[in-house]
């Protein structure tokens, strides 16, 4: 049974950057955002269920999920949104854990933006938070996505606060410095997780 490190952090904190540094060391990644797309991919049970429930208007001409149409249908409808969450959340959870179970590396990094918010920290052995200030979140997200400060702030506000997240974290990476500093922290944590994973499995 693989040792699972739950990796999280706010928008623009550097989750993907950190995850890729672990991947360079041969550590396998399971990414909640990717799994969330897989469970509604063409031919999936998830997409079929959505089609049966909401009708063909949520399917695009090419047979894929029309996310915009689905968003509009659940936007102002708590009951429908709940129906959708009740379908997708267990599917995403199961698929993530299946992928984790198939991993061959010494431990696995599970990347989940809303790890604590959605209670997925109960599925992992330990938690690692990538931390930066809200000001840096704004700067780095804006640089990457070319979105407005207001749109980024709205997402920051919808997520757990920096303080709440840090209070829940078992390990913290400070990503306010440069990538060299980041890599040093990842190297140290990697050595630490290797030992922990061995202990848990012995």
Q: Which residues bind ligand ATP (CB under 6 A)?
A: 9, 11-17, 113, 140-141, 144, 175, 178-179, 182
At its nearest, how many Å lie between ligand ATP and the CB of residue 133? 12
Output 126 or 185, the one with its CB closest to ligand ATP.
185
Q: How far apart are CA 99 and CA 34, in angstroms?
A: 11
Output 78 or 163, the one with its CB closest to ligand ATP.
163
At its nearest, how many Å lie between ligand ATP and the CB of residue 179? 5
Both structure tokens of 169 = 């974290």
Q: How far apart are CA 106 and CA 4, in angstroms?
A: 10
Q: Write down how long the chain is.
A: 202
Output 109 or 182, the one with its CB closest to ligand ATP.
182
Q: Are 23 and 17 in contact (CB under 8 A)?
A: no
E-assigned strands of the chain? 3-8, 28-31, 107-111, 126-131, 171-174
Q: Are 58 and 70 in contact (CB under 8 A)?
A: yes
Output 16 or 138, the one with its CB closest to ligand ATP.
16
At its nearest, how many Å lie between ligand ATP and the CB of residue 77? 27
Output 11 or 73, the one with its CB closest to ligand ATP.
11
Q: How far apart are CA 9 and CA 25, in angstroms?
A: 21
At its nearest, how many Å lie between ligand ATP and the CB of residue 149? 14
At its nearest, how many Å lie between ligand ATP and the CB of residue 201? 29
Q: How many Cβ atoms from other residues are within 10 Å of residue 148's Cβ?
A: 10
Q: Which of 25, 30, 34 has the alpha carbon at shortest distance from 7?
A: 30
């Amino acid at each position: 049974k693989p040792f699972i490190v739950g990796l999280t952090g706010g928008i623009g904190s550097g989750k993907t950057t950190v995850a890729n540094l672990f991947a360079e060391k041969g550590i396998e990644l399971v990414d909640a955002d990717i799994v969330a797309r897989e469970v509604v991919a063409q031919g999936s049970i998830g997409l079929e269920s959505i089609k049966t429930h909401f009708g063909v208007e949520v399917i695009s001409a090419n047979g894929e999920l029309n996310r915009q149409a689905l968003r509009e249908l659940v936007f102002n409808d708590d009951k429908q949104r709940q129906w959708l969450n009740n379908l997708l959340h267990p599917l995403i959870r199961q698929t993530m854990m299946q992928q984790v179970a198939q991993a061959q590396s010494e431990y696995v990094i599970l990347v989940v933006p809303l790890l604590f918010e959605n209670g997925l920290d109960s599925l992992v052995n330990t938690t690692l938070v990538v931390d930066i200030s809200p000001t840096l979140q704004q700067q780095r997200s804006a640089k990457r996505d070319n979105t407005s400060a207001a749109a980024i702030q709205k997402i920051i506000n919808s997520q757990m606060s920096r303080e709440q997240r840090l209070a829940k974290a078992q390990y913290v990476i400070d990503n306010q410095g440069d990538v060299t500093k980041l890599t040093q922290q990842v190297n140290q944590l990697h050595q630490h997780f290797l030992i922990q994973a061995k202990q848990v499995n012995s």
